[in-house]
Homo-oligomer: A and B are copies of this chain.
């Protein structure tokens, strides 16, 4: 068999018309007759024609590729956001390139570089914990392609953003813990350079104040939020002269690590130590005790991010109004923090 790929030209030859006419027929150009259009479609099918997307991208200056950068795919939060983004964008003829930064600034830069190299039509990203310098993201902005951040964003970048109200999240958690009778609430935070963790810290401190609880510096600990960080930090907390009676962790994995140490030390959860995580990862409901957590409505975040991208490509020149979309989170109360049995 002639193993060459069929091109628009082959179709043209069969029908005795020009490639240009074929192209127009396939793109449903108004000036092409129905008769020709049908004939072209027929022949295209017969020859098993597959449009060369690369050629079209070169000519049109548009690849129909969208890059998505996430810190880790293994987190359910991110993977479900991606799923939603894919859903929506695939429908509109876009393909999604997913890359992971693994929370590393260096890897993130490499990802951006790679995506720009691939000439994606836009980037939807959540920043690595490590990332402080915004140079690479500014590079994206300078390229003039849409850049949408979610969850982990920076105000300074001045781009569209979708996320939850982190300040309020902390209030929800602290209010709940206080209701449960907790008085010395520790907070395991992420990198305080990142906006979201900064906001959660602010919320934590303000909420404590509202409840007339003192803020103790030694109960606020910054970390990388991995499971092993949780183990280490909980160890530390247990060694304090005055132990906390509750821990509000800014992630479920770090909370899980903390829980392990608590169990090892036979500390009763929630009676002796209440525990709250963040993100509502599936495992938080299956460990014992199940971990109270914050649900961030990831599908909604994914949806909004995708729709915002589409809006931007549709109207690239509406420079002014940035979209900052802030969703309201939800506290999912479970065994790890439920001291007061209400029945």
Interface residues of A (CB under 8 A from B): 3, 50, 52-55, 57-58, 63, 65, 72-76, 79-80, 82-83, 86, 90, 95-100, 102, 110, 114-119, 144, 227, 256, 260, 263, 282-283, 286-288
* Contact indicator A100/B83 (Cβ below 8 Å): yes
Contact indicator A98/B95 (Cβ below 8 Å): no
- The docked-state distance in angstroms from the alpha carbon of A90 to that of B115 is 12
Q: How many copies does the complex hold?
A: 2
**A79 neighbours in B (Cβ, 8 Å):** 72-74, 100
Residues of B within 8 A of A50 (CB): 116-117
Q: A79-B73, A118-B65 are contacts. A96–B95 as well, Cβ < 8 Å?
A: no
- Which of B63, B73, B96 contacts A82 (CB under 8 A)? B73
Cβ contact within 8 Å between B53 and A55: no
Q: Cβ of B114 and Cβ of A90 under 8 Å apart?
A: yes
* A282, B65: Cα distance in complex, Å: 32
Rounded to whole Å, the gap between the CB of A336 and the closest CB of chain B is 14
Contact pick for A260, options B54, B73, B86, B286, CB 8 Å: B286
Task: Give which listed residue, B76, B86, B227, contacts A100 with CB less than 8 A.
Answer: B86
CA distance A256 to B283 in the complex (A): 10
Nearest chain B residue, comparing its CB with the CB of A114: B95
